[in-house]
Structure 1
Amino acid sequence: MGGQETRATPHALHSMDQKTRANRGESQMKKIIAGSLLIVLTMVPALMKSPLVAQTKIIFWTWNRHDMEVKKRLFKKFEQEHPDIDVEMVIHADRYQDMLKLAWDAETPPDVFQIPENTLVALQVEAGWLMPLDQWITPEFKAQYMPGIFRNHVSVIKGHIYGIPSGIFTAKLFYNKSLFRKVGLDPEKPPRTWKELKEYAQKITKAGKGRFYGFVIGAKDPWVYSMNVEWMAMVAGGTAFNYKTGKFQYNSEPFKRALSLIIGLKRDGSILPGMNSMDDDRARLAFCSNKAAMIIGGSWNLGVFIDQFHSNVDFGVADLPVPDEGRKGLAPAFLSSQWGISSRTKHPQEAWKIVKLVASKEWMTEMVRAGKYIATIASVNTPENLKTKGMRECADLTYHKFYPPDPEEMLRLEGPDFNNVCAGIVNGQLEMNKALADLDKRLNKALSRAIAEGKIRLEEFIIPDFNPMKK
């Protein structure tokens, strides 16, 4: 008897096929899950190492270009420590105030921005641009700064703090030691008087025979006359505003003599040609390129020479030369790098973290070490931190003072301002006495109007015992 053949029915075959496919699908699913898990596990270390996606962007505006590399480095460090904040720095070195107004008109102002170190701040407060910082500033916070740093009409408006200045700039004469040596002048003896300044400039220009000159001014932008005329008038005892009478006094001997000094340098050919076609950057570049031996500027020039231009020029730093009969006033020192918070920021707490950072001892230490400014926290200005070339001389405040604020920036002046008037006088387009008298007349008229409108209280600017030689 033969054996019975067993046949698989169609139903059995279908059932077996289902099981096979199910097993195969389960196997594939396990492989997919395992593969996905492997990918996730592989990504975890990378995710742990990379910063979290920034949740808050803070727009930070400044007009300072000379210290941008230091700022970038310190902001990068801050972002690593605060991965939830992204700082976007915007630099408007030219026409900063115009660009800022455009941003406000477009309702897109920055969260944190550099504010002036003069009475223009009062106008920004009046326009509603700035947020008071009182909620964050404690007595302990203020105590770390030099006395007098939080000044009325500059950082404090009507009893409220709107700005924190982190730096100090000084007015100095920078001179090219290489050119001094080349013409037989002692490189360690810069000119001390206006007479010596003229004599040195003439001697250097004569020896240069068109290759280099004694002095340089980049007057394409007339604001440089604040340095070359007003600062020199101040060491002659002059101030634009008379703190005793409450009147403007540009039409005075110190300003006329300072203007005459510049006119004389131009007339005898001691100034590098093309002054009206070059801006201050090009003038400083000419100085660094050994085309000019002397230039007047602020202590911010150190950062420009060394970092912006990467120049190896052998330069010296000296106090501003004084009138031949002697000093009659101290040179100006200025609060700088003052920071405020926009009244429209949507992130006030994060914005305050940025202001607190740029006004911190850590931030100032890096800036001082890099030769960018003198710190408003006195403990930062140590010999160990003042090692950048020229920094110790720039930090010497012996013959400098913080002049009281005056109301000029708060006025709606009709017609050309001081710097444009100076440009007209130096270029022979305006007669000095008439132009300065007209400037005073227009300023005092604008002052009277502001007082009548209740925008200015003149008594807040009057100092009966003011003395330009006393700090």
Structure 2
Amino acid sequence: MRKQWMGLGLSLVLALGIAGCGNNGGNNGSTNGAAETGAPAAAEAGGNTAAKGEAVQLKYWTDDRHDQEYIKELINTFNETNKDNIQVELTVLSENYAQSVDIAFSSNQAPDVLRLKSANTSEFVKKGYLAPIDSYLDEGMNQKFGSLMIDNVNRFDGKVYSLPNTGLTMRLVYNKDIFTKAGIQNPPVSLQEMVDDAKKITEAGKSEGIYGFALNFKNPKQAFDRSIREILSLSGYQGLGYDLKTGQFDFNPYAQVIEYFKQMYKDGSILPGAESLDIDPLRAQFAAGKIGMYLSFSTEPGVYKDQFPTEINWAGALAPTLDGQIKGTSEIVSAGTWLGINAKSAHQEAAWKFMQYMYGDDILKTYHEKGFGIAVVPSIVEKAQNPDIAGMEGFLVGEHDSLWPAAPGVTPEGATYADAFFKYMLSGGDAKAIAEDLNSRYNAALTKAVEKGEVKVTPDPAFDPSKPQGE
């Protein structure tokens, strides 16, 4: 596995692009409200950041819950030891993060430092929320992160707004004991095998409330972005319906995958009530041994260690592909950003000093080793040990994982691809017609966005999904 990590380091140095993650990203939370940790007593004044001995008060907002105890420890250490009299206060928002940030900026109450993800960075830059950090990047920082500064991910119009830390791999999560009980020796490698296995599991376990498959269909986009996205990328297609070769949306491959999901629903192989199931209730059911398999991110091992401790025998494996052949690479998502600075903050220099501390080698290395995310910074990858967490071995970066170029984000008129295909999965219809309608509406939205200068599209006819980017 160490060889695979070293290989990733080399691939990342040559990376051409990174794709965005769905809104769930690395956020495992589902509860409402915010958790806060107040800053301890100010450290002894020092440096030139504080005026007249008064501490500079910084606010940091994040929507991550899975790492909050570690982040609290880091902030407390920073508050107690920094020589610039800077005090940081952490606020953890578990839901509606982007909306909360919008409201905070409109009322001039925005935090000084923000947690950024691929799903929100572009919008925050467009709205003028973020300050570029290029002027703070010295030779060492540029050498450490330079290969990962990617257009339309953390660099926009030539300016850098954030630096990477970790990424998320996506895998099929399966209960090994349930598979054995159903007479299944290995996880499925094709979608037809997945359909067949889900049916076998349901037939063998339905009397005990065990079903073959589930997803958090309460939010179809989150459900599909943690499953179909992965299936498509391994099958050789961009996972969000965008064709990188033509620079246009094409949902026909997506329609092929949804046919198999529809079949599992028709077979009764999907956990009853999944239409209204959120991710944490799904995890609780899986931890209780009631679900044979589902697809999700590399946050799952940490979830089953801390949030839903379980004794079941489970593992992660590469997702199945359309025909059982791997023609692409498994997309490492949400890998381009971590922290950003408020463009309107009165304490941007202090905010950068906090960011500089958070991006230190020891912190990034420990963040990976504790299993909060999988390191993507080459220098960290080379020296980090694998997380000692049950199940994590199935999510570690290997030969079939890589970074993908970012797809343009557009908002079409009418139903989104997730809503349209989810409706088809439940109620039927004409899949080909649905795909063509989505193509028409998404490409119309793309054309408008390009004309307004909101996105840039550069077709890449030579794009090869079978190789890690840049190789």
Secondary structure, aligned partner of 1:173: strand
Matched residue, 2:155: 156
Deviations 1:191-232 (A, max 9, x none): 222232222222211111242111111111222211222322
Stretch moving more, 322-331 or 425-434: 425-434
Matched residue, 1:16: none
**Whole-angstrom CA distance in 1 between matches of 2:452 and 2:250:** 23
Q: Is 1:278 aligned to 2:277, yes or no?
A: yes
For residues 265-414 of structure 1, the aligned pairs below 5 Å read 265-336=264-335, 338-381=338-381, 382=383, 384-407=385-408, 409=409, 411-414=410-413
**Aligned partner letter, 2:98:** Q
**Whole-angstrom CA distance in 2 between matches of 1:463 and 1:139:** 32
**Aligned partner letter, 2:201:** I
Q: CA deviation at 1:99?
A: 2.0
TM-score relative to the length of structure 1: 0.81
Matched residue, 1:449: 448
Stretch moving more, 376-385 or 445-454: 376-385
Matched residue, 2:124: 124
**Whole-angstrom CA distance in 2 between matches of 1:390 and 1:404:** 28
**Whole-angstrom CA distance in 2 between matches of 1:390 and 1:357:** 30
TM-align CA RMSD? 2.3
**Whole-angstrom CA distance in 2 between matches of 1:203 and 1:277:** 24
**Whole-angstrom CA distance in 2 between matches of 1:183 and 1:451:** 51
Q: CA deviation at 1:290?
A: 0.7
Q: Is the 8 A contact 2:42 2:87 kept in 1?
A: no
Matched residue, 1:422: 421
**Whole-angstrom CA distance in 2 between matches of 1:90 and 1:226:** 27
**Whole-angstrom CA distance in 2 between matches of 1:329 and 1:102:** 40
Matched residue, 1:33: none
Deviations 1:265-284 (A, max 9, x none): 11111111111211111112
Which structure's relative contact order is higher, taking Cα pairs within 8 Å and 6+ residues apart?
2
**Whole-angstrom CA distance in 2 between matches of 1:281 and 1:128:** 34
**Whole-angstrom CA distance in 2 between matches of 1:215 and 1:419:** 18
Return the match for 1:196 from 193, 196, 201: 193
Matched residue, 1:9: none
Secondary structure, aligned partner of 1:214: strand
Stretch moving more, 273-282 or 415-424: 415-424
**Aligned partner letter, 1:389:** A
**Whole-angstrom CA distance in 2 between matches of 1:128 and 1:311:** 44
Matched residue, 2:64: 64
Alignment CA distance shift 1:156-1:281 (3 Å): same
**Whole-angstrom CA distance in 2 between matches of 1:347 and 1:158:** 24
For residues 167-206 of structure 1, the aligned pairs below 5 Å read 167-186=166-185, 189-206=186-203
**Whole-angstrom CA distance in 1 between matches of 2:422 and 2:161:** 34
Q: Is the 8 A contact 2:171 2:295 kept in 1?
A: yes
Q: Which runs of 5+ in 1 are unaligned?
A: 1-48
**Whole-angstrom CA distance in 1 between matches of 2:293 and 2:116:** 30
**Whole-angstrom CA distance in 2 between matches of 1:440 and 1:139:** 44
Count how many residue pairs are aligned between Structure 1 and Structure 2. Answer: 413
Stretch moving more, 310-319 or 159-168: 310-319
Q: Which runs of 5+ in 2 are unaligned?
A: 1-39, 45-53
State the structure with more CA Rg.
Answer: 1
Q: CA deviation at 1:374?
A: 1.1
Alignment CA distance shift 1:162-1:284 (3 Å): same
Q: Between the two proteins, what is the percent identity of the paired residues?
A: 26
Q: CA deviation at 1:396?
A: 2.3
**Aligned partner letter, 1:90:** T
**Whole-angstrom CA distance in 2 between matches of 1:371 and 1:76:** 21
Q: Is the 8 A contact 1:361 1:377 kept in 2?
A: no
**Aligned partner letter, 1:218:** N
For residues 226-245 of structure 1, the aligned pairs below 5 Å read 226-239=225-238, 240-245=241-246
**Whole-angstrom CA distance in 1 between matches of 2:259 and 2:403:** 26
Stretch moving more, 361-370 or 125-134: 361-370
Matched residue, 1:224: 223
TM-score relative to the length of structure 2: 0.81
